[in-house]
Structure 1
């Protein structure tokens, strides 16, 4: 069995990623901040649930302790939890955006590293965004060029950088970040744009299921590596 944990998996891309990994025979833990929604999603999927708030150290450690107790290892970690943080451009909003979208990656990764080291083929995937790519936001031909979402963009740039740095410092574990494609979710509803979660989740699953010889330290979309 291959054991996977997905943060923010009660809806959107995370939920669909869980569905697709379950179809491949993986044991999937749905991590969600809201227990009621998370338990409902896990039950619908046939997955397992752990309460996991990426902004709360105690919550993160409890979730990983549950997986350690139940499984003894973790093979796949998908950093999917994130917020748009587009309500205001001020200090509290910035702290909230970075705490969820970037610092949360550090909290969960650090708690998960001992379990990932027990895996024979550990994969860590960060659902980042080209909204945080300097190449994309300065390219008039890219949709990100037209999206004024500074806190989301800056925190996703940090998320990608953290992923690349973890790949350097943890050579026994594959770390890759991705642009899933503009997706129609609750987060993008205000913009009225995006493709299905099924299409975008396939990008996540491809990186989550890399074999032992797969790449690490990359930033990719469905067509391969991207500049950022």
Structure 2
């Protein structure tokens, strides 16, 4: 059996990612900042007949929570095959560059960047024990610096002083991590799930949660000859599926 950990998985794309990995035969540790919310999500999956899943209290912005989560998982398995860094916050919109507080920007980076790094570093030893480990960092098409220089891009006018830069930094970390692990079986990629109707954007997106999660799962299930260090985005690049950085 293969094992996966998904952060921020108690609802929306994270929960659907868990569902789809369970359907692929994975055992899933469903990370949730609130254990109660995680338990409710697991109960929902159990009701659907998907039982190889358990809740894991994990606040990616809390180092003690990460340490406890690592210890809890390590007591049950010596191997982790997939890590999906899904947990993220927007910080609220709008975020004018000249008036958004530095405290808010730090808060967003704490979850979207430093949380990913901390979780990855905490679980890397378990991932190294897997024959084909996969790390998927959930990002956004709005993190593309190249496209933000293109006035014809449909999202050109959607800016943000905290959220967009935090995901651009996450993309940069993804590239560095993939490069460092390039001579190993690891596949490390950033995935834009697309503009999806979720609580995150007040259900304003046109995309569906199952389609968004399928993009994440696709990167989690990459074959040994699959790409690494890529920025997958069907939304930004429908023909190639690879977004410019």
TM-score by length of 1: 0.95
Aligned to 1:68: 74
SS in 1 for 2:75: helix
| Unaligned runs of at least 5 residues, structure 1 | none
- How is 1:21-40 mapped onto 2 (pairs within 5 angstroms)? 21-40=21-40
Aligned to 2:134: 123
Residue number among 181, 206, 230 corresponding to 1:218 in the alignment: 230
CA-CA distance at 1:72 after TM superposition: 1.0
Residue number among 200, 217, 228 corresponding to 2:212 in the alignment: 200
SS in 1 for 2:31: strand
| Unaligned runs of at least 5 residues, structure 2 | 47-52, 235-239
How many pairs does the alignment contain?
Answer: 227
8 Å Cα contact 1:75/1:122 also seen in 2: yes
- Encode CA deviations 1:164-223: one digit per residue, 9 max, x unaligned: 101111232211001111011111117x22311111111001000012222111111244
Residue number among 119, 137, 145 corresponding to 1:134 in the alignment: 145
SS in 2 for 1:126: strand
- Encode CA deviations 1:27-63: one digit per residue, 9 max, x unaligned: 1111010111011102211321110000011111111
Greater C-alpha radius of gyration = 2
Say what the alpha-carbon RMSD is for the aligned residues: 1.4
SS in 2 for 1:144: coil
Determine the C-alpha separation between the residues in 2 that align with 1:216 and 1:70: 29
